[in-house]
Each structure stands twice: as structure tokens, then as C-alpha cells.
Structure 1
Amino acid sequence: MHRLLIASTLALGAAAPAIAADDITIGFAIATSGWMEAYDTPAATAAKIRIDEINANGGLLGRQIAWVEADTKTDRAQSAKAGLQVLDEGADMMVVSCDYDFGAPAALAAESAGINSFFLCAEDVKAGIQGVGPNSFSGSVLAAVQGATMAEWSHARREARTGYVLLDTTIEYNKGICTGFDWMFPQLDGTEIVGRDTFKNDDASIASQITRIKALPEEPDVIMLCSYIPGAASAVRQIRAAGINSLILNGSAVDGSYWLDATPGLSGFVVPVQGSIYGDDPRPEVEAFNVAYEKASGSRPASQYAYPGYILIDLWAKAVERAGSLDGAAVTAELEKMKGEATAFGARSFSGELHHQNSAEMQIVEISDGKPAVVDSWTISEPVPLQQLLN
């Protein structure tokens, strides 16, 4: 269990600490402006919480950790510039944006410099070896794991036998959720995907898609909705308004209660998360982090996307200690040895082929009468194969 020895002075947007000559420096090339800021700032705040804890316990390799930061402005070209800026300021490791597309330009700069990079919460397999290089990792759980978790959990716990796949084709993350569901659900006893359809996140109406669902001989047991806010909220509202009562499944991107005013009284909506922000996670370490985050930022995490920032610093620091070095290749070798490495949010593993989580314990959050709560936890029975992730 991690001890949360957090300085109460840390706050969102706080200035970087003064850097001493012998400090280890982490460079944050992240969005502090633009729409990605909503994802990057919480995860970066969590990362800085773990940095403060490590410093309070004597530091890393006997040295304190400092950090520098450059704003990518949610712009790909600026991401590359931000990466170069933090390198110029002495970064020994780089933390980059949650999204692969916006984080990769900075991560590629880190790769060229031979240092490790971690995406804050990217869930696309390309955010790692496949899209950046051998020293790049992600702190989150692949989107495909989320879809596979929903498939297996709903089959086992809610007796789902028929499923309908509704894919928002706007971003790769959504496709990853459906990839996992499409892989897992047909493997389960007595199951059938009875239809599939697509839409775009900014579509004002999905009336034609709803018509096709209602034309089925029987209502599907589950609808695998692979989308994010605001499009996901709009789709859910329209599905329920049409009188469709199927259990609706989604990925972690819709975690949080901030959007529920758009779907009053919603029930039968389920998502998998790495940890619960609602105070009901069965692991006391998670709630201890939520409390520490509130002390640091003034509010509790708004979604589970804060958690990967804490996890990535924790894992990287352990690898550095074991390597006895900040050298990117040496640290990578230690990270790739991690198999079921304990963290406050569950076990994590890496390999020479995959720098992501293709299996993880997920907490299952269900919304009933407009209120989200943990109802279960689930780990898929087998990891999502790499070839499936690359399809």
C-alpha cells in the first residue's frame, strides 16, 4: 500500500519547483490549454502527487525529483515543440498527452533523445512501441480491454446473449472499445452479435440507427456503445427516449457524473474503470488517493483518467531504482520485466512486445436512477492478443 505523504501546497497550475543541479528532472509536454487540457491536467496532477510522495520518502536514486512543463496547446505541431523545450530544460524522462495523436510528436522527441516517455492515459496501442519506439509506454489500460471486459462481464453477470454494436467512428479510441467487444463476445457460450451500426460524435440524431435496432425480432440484451461525451450522452438519451431498455455498455471515457444531467434518471448504463471516484472502491488505496487529490487540487477527481498519471510515475520510479540508472534502455528493460507489478490501482505488466495493459482488473460502475456506483470488479479471462490490437 502506498503512503500518501502529500504536501498540501500542491495545486493545479502550480509553478514548477526550483531545480537543483543534482535533481532528476521530469518533463511534462502536455496540454495546459485547448480541449485536451481536461484530460491532461488531472493526470498530470496525479503524477505530481506521486513525485511529491517519492521526494518525501527520500527521493529517487538518492536525489530529489523536479519537473518542468511546456504547453502543447492541444496542437500536434506544438507538441513536438513542447517535447524539444523540456529536453532543452534537462528532462530525464518525458510525460506526454493522454491522446496518441497529440502526445506522439513529443514522445518521438524523447525517443530520439534516448529517454523514456509515458503517455498520461492513452489507450491506443500505437502509444508505445508500435507508434513511437522501444522506450515509450502508456500509463492506462487499452480501450480493447474495456470492450472485452464489458462483453465478458455482461455475459457472466447479466446473462447477455445478444449484443448490438453501435460505433462512433470519430476517434481511434472508440474503435478500440468495439474491437475488444467484437473479439470477446462471440467466444462466449450462446452469444450472437445481432447487428451493428455507426454514427459520428457530432451527429444531431441517430434516428435511423434506432429504427434498425427496433426492427430486430427481439430487443438485444446489450448495446455496446463505443463513444465519448457529448455524442455518447446524446445517443443514450435518444435510445432511452425510443423505449429501448437494453443494458447499455461503454468504455471508461464516459466515467464521471458530470454529464448525467443530459440523461435524467438514467438506468442500465455500465462502464469499466481503473478505480472509482465515488468513494466506494473496494481498495482503500484508491480512496486514499482521491482524498490526496482533493487536498492537492481543491476537488476530487472528476473521472478515472487522473489515476494513470499516478501509476506511470510509480512504475517508472520502481524501474529506475532497479536499473540504478536513468538511461532509457536500462529503465525500459526493467519495466519490461514487470509482471503483475502491484500499484494502488491494481497489478500492471509490460513486455518486449507491448507497453500497455492488455488485461487489468476493472471496477464495474453502473448508473441506476441517475446515480453511479461500483457494482462489481472484473478481470478478463485472457489478455487481448497483440494481433487483435493491431487489426
Structure 2
Amino acid sequence: MRMLSALTLWVGMTVTALAADPILIGLNYPRTGHYKEEGLAQMRGALLAIDEINAQGGVLGREVSLITRDTASRPEKAARNVDALVDQGAAMLFGSVSSAVAVAASERARQLNTLYFATIGYSNDVTGANGHRYVFRESSNAAMTGYALGHYLSTHFADKSYFYITADYSWGHSSEQALRDNTNTTDTSKHKGVLLPFPTAKQSDYTAVLKQAQESNAEIVVLALYGHDLVRAMRTAETLGLTKKVQIVAPNLTQSVIEQAGPGLMVGVIGTEHWLWRAPEVENSATGLAFVENFNQAYELYPPSAAASAYTVVKQWADAVQRSNSLDSGAVINALEGHEYSLLKDAAQWRAFDHQNIQTVYVVQVNDREAVMAHPSRQDYFKILERFEFDQNMQTFEQWQADRAAAGKPNKL
């Protein structure tokens, strides 16, 4: 009887200790400023993943709890947030939409020996020239999207003239270059381009660059712009009558951009997505379909790619912790490197040499209003034109090494 009482007391104390001692993970995301819509989606995806993990017993027998900081999409603020989140006890950090934020925050995390997942951040630099041992990126990079989009355009829009309007920062530059390389449009005298100031572009800047595109008589206008910048450019293009005269291409199209601009404005635009809520149907992914249903039930919305990326990060981190039986960043990194999995679509892999998530990329086109409204959700924004699996679209080790060498970085993380 005395032994039973002692055991009961020990169990009670253990349960109480576990309940009071959760594992903290830190979301460093844009709650305000540029890309706040993608930031909100990341928060929602992360919370859904944490709820599911805790309902299944947590990680290493402990519940997981989320702590957050607002980056406002400013790199210096994101780096300071890393210190605050680590001081609070975060075992892992994730977040970002801007590539510059991902680079700054992950570098500070490296200095603190803390694992950082760049949830989104499409510039090659994140896992390329600025990559290091402590950073992993869930979303596709510019090389992957450039390959997929470039091959589609080369097949279906052969021998067309291009004009590039590019955001003047690392993502814009790498996206333009990747698309030029894969569409045979590297001759800038024939396929002209212009830079748009980032992040300080004025309306006069949008008007000026789009008038140059109009005067070029190009058949394809590439808007290597993202988020709010892409929305403003599309509104200006419509005002100038450009949307009805040319094929507009945007390397990274997202659900949040369509919702900000309105699907009517974006009809016919071609781009890429690394995940969309139709993907689980295409790939026959049971867990992906469940995620779409659960997200819709929780938030009365269909999930965008930003939500899927955050959900994947949290689930994959938890899986790596369980497999390594450790919260130590080094042990979790070892468990992630080279790990192949299927979660919300088909197979993906955390590539060992650069920590890039290699995965299927979808070439998509924005549906017309009739198609959008035909679905009960009123959110069927994209038609999938083609899919490129990771063994088709990935950057090679030799290409990665060349990028590192050009930046004066070592040829391994």
C-alpha cells in the first residue's frame, strides 16, 4: 500500500512537472509590415502542428509551446529577436518571408548555436552563399523555381521576347538570373530589364518601369516582385492596359497575393508555387488532405503555402527530435541532413550538403473568376500547368559550390 501511494505521488509529480515545463520553440515572423499576410499564415500553420503534436503526447514526453516575435520584415529587428527568443529558452527558431530576414536571423542563430528554419525565403543565398550548418530552408529556392518555370515557358512560349522588372535585392536578382538561364534570355540587349527600388519603391517608380516594359514591345513581362510589390505592379500594369497585351509572369505566386490583389486582376498570370491546397489531391497525399481539412475547420480558410511550410517545419523538427532523442541543435541537424519524407504532398528531402528542402515545384496559372467561384471555398485560385519533381529541378552540388566560391565561402557548411 505504501509503495502504491509512493508510485501515485511520483506519477502525479511527474505529470505536473511535464505540464509546467514545455519545450519552447520560437516563431520569428512578420506580424506587421511587408508580408504580414504570409506571417499570419505561418502562425496558423504552426499552431495547428503544435496542437496535433501535443494531442499525440508531445515531444520526448513534453508538450510543445510557441513563443513569438514580430520581425516587421526588417533584418536587424529579426536578428535582435533571435537573442530574445533564445533568452526565453527556445530550443528551435523558425520564420521569415523575406530572404534578407532569413539570412540575418539565421546568422545570429548560428552564433548562438541554435537551429533556424527559414520557413519561406526564396533567394538562393539563404542556403547558398549565406548558408551554414544551423540553417535549413523549407520553401523552394530561386534555382528550383527558375528551372521549373523556365522549362515550361521555353516549351509553351518559345522564341518570345522578354522584359524583366526586378526587385533590387537578393531574391529579385537570383530569380531573374535563374529564369534568364532557363529561357535562353541572358542577352540583355535583346531581353531588356530594369530594377525596381526595394523596399522603398514609390508609385512613380512602378509607373516608370512598367512604361518601359510597354515601350519595349516585349511579349512576356516578368515581374520578379513579391507580395505587396507584385500587387502594386499589377494594379499599375492594368491601369496602363498592359495586362491585356502581354503574358505576365511572376516567379513566385502565392494565395495571399491573389487575395490582396483580387483574382480578377491576376487572371492568366503564370508563376510557381511549392505547395497549394490542391497539391494533396494531385499527389494523393492522405496527410496533406487531412491538413487541408483540419486547417479549414480551424480557420474557415483553405491553407496557403506559408501555412503549409510552417506546419511542415514544426512537424519535421519534432520528428527529428524524436529520432535523435535530443533537443541539442547538433543532434537534430544530424537527424535532418539527408532525411527523406512525405508529409503534405509527395516525397521531399532535407538535402545534406546545403540544407535546402528539395521538393516538387508546380507551375501554376491564376484561374478566371468563373473557376474561382465554382468551388465552394471561393479560393480555387490556381490551375496547375505542370509539376517538376525534385530530381528534375534541383541545383547541383557543383553549381552550389560555384556560388559559394564566388562569394568567398567554404565548399561545405
Same fold (TM over 0.5): yes
Q: CA deviation at 1:273?
A: 1.2
Q: State the alpha-carbon separation in 2 of the partners of residues 204 and 243 from structure 1.
A: 18
Q: Quote the Cα distance in structure 1 between the aligned partners of 2:388 and 2:402.
A: 18
Large movers: runs of 4+ above 6 Å: none
Partner of 1:4: none
Q: Is the 8 A contact 1:123 1:141 kept in 2?
A: yes
- What's 2:378 paired with? none
State the alpha-carbon separation in 2 of the partners of residues 153 and 312 from structure 1.
Answer: 29
**Which structure's residues are more often helix, by fraction?**
2
For residues 237 and 54 of structure 1, what CA distance do their matches in structure 2 show? 46
Aligned twin of 1:269: 269
**Alignment-mate amino acid for residue 388 of structure 2:** T
1:139 maps to a residue whose letter is E
Tell me the equivalent position of 1:57: 56
CA distance in 2: counterparts of 1:223 and 1:159, whole angstroms = 12
- Over residues 352-372 of structure 1, what are the superposed CA-to-partner deviations in whole Å (9 max), with x where a residue is unaligned? 431223x53123321243553
Moved more, 303-312 or 128-137: 128-137
Structure 1 position 224 matched with structure 2 position 222: yes
Match of 2:99 in 1: 100
Cα shift readout 1:112-155 (whole Å, capped 9, x = no counterpart): 23221112211223334743631111221112321221111233
1:305-316 equivalences in 2 (<5 Å): 305-316=306-317
SS at match of 1:175: helix
Tell me the SS of whatever aligns to 2:26.
strand
Match of 1:296 in 2: 298
Q: Which amino acid aligns with 1:164?
A: Y
Aligned to 1:322: 323
- Residue 368 of structure 2 is aligned to residue 354 of structure 1: no
1:170 paired to 2:168: yes
| Residues 194 and 84 of structure 1: CA distance in aligned 2, closer, same or farther (over 3 Å) | same
Partner Cα distance (1:193, 1:353) in 2: 37
Instruction: Mark the runs of 5 or more structure 2 residues left unpaired by the alignment.
Output: 1-16, 373-380, 407-413
Query: d(CA) in 2 for partners of 1:270 and 1:193?
Result: 24
> CA, structure 1 residues 147+223, in 2 after alignment: closer, same or farther (shift >3 Å)?
farther
For residues 276-302 of structure 1, what are the alpha-carbon distances to aligned partners after superposition, in whole Å with 9 as ceiling and x for unaligned?
Answer: 24699524544432332233334333x
- Asked whether the 8 Å contact 1:28–1:95 carries over to 2, the reply is yes
Q: Report whether the alignment pairs 1:136 with 2:150.
A: no
The 2-side partners of 1:348 and 1:278 are apart by 17
1:241 deviation in Å? 3.5
Cα separation, 2, equivalents of 1:79 and 1:388: 29
Per-residue deviation, residues 201-239 of structure 1 (Å, max 9, x unmatched) = 54232212221125xxxxx4x443322223441464267
Answer whether contact 1:164 1:193 (CA < 8 A) is retained: no
User: Structure 1 residues 132 and 337, CA, compared in 2 at 3 Å: closer, same or farther?
Assistant: closer
* Alpha-carbon separation, structure 2, partners of 1:168 and 1:255: 21
TM-score normalized with structure 1 length:
0.79
Residues 334, 163 of structure 1: alpha-carbon distance in 2 compared, 3 angstrom cutoff:
farther
Offset of residue 275 of structure 1: 2.5
Contact 1:26 1:94 in 2 (8 A): yes
Q: Which residue of 2 aligns with 1:79?
A: 78
* 1:342 shift after superposition: 1.4
SS of the equivalent of 2:282 reads coil
1:249 and 1:373 map into 2 onto residues whose CA distance is 14
RMSD: 3.2
Aligned to 2:12: none
Q: Which amino acid aligns with 1:309?
A: A
State the aligned residue count. 359
Shift of 1:243: 5.4
Q: Displacement, 1:330?
A: 1.5
1:27-48 Cα shifts (integer Å, max 9, x gaps) = 2233323334322221132122
Q: For 1:18-37, what aligned pairs fall within 5 Å after superposition?
A: 20-37=19-36
8 A contact 2:128–2:403 mirrored in 1? no
Counterpart check, 1:374 vs 2:379: no
Task: Say whether 1:198 aligns with 2:177.
Answer: no
Task: Give the Cα separation in 2 of the matches to 1:324 and 1:52.
Answer: 21
Question: When the two structures are superposed, what TM-score results if normalisation uses the length of structure 2?
Answer: 0.75
Aligned to 1:184: 182
Q: CA deviation at 1:93?
A: 0.7
Counterpart CA distance in 1 for 2:69 and 2:22 is 19
Deviations 1:291-335 (A, max 9, x none): 32233334333x422221112112222222222211111111121
Match of 1:13 in 2: none
Q: 1:235 to 1:364 in 2, by over 3 A?
A: farther
Could you tell me how far apart the structure 2 residues matched to 1:279 and 1:119 are? 21
Pick the aligned partner of 2:394 from 368, 373, 383: 383
| Aligned CA distance change for structure 1 residues 254 and 193 (closer, same or farther; 3 Å) | farther
1:166 deviation in Å?
A: 0.8
Deviation, 1:89, is: 1.4
**Structure 1 unpaired stretches of 5+:** 1-17, 215-219
Alpha carbons of structure 1 residues 57 and 147: separation in structure 2 relative to 1, 3 Å = same
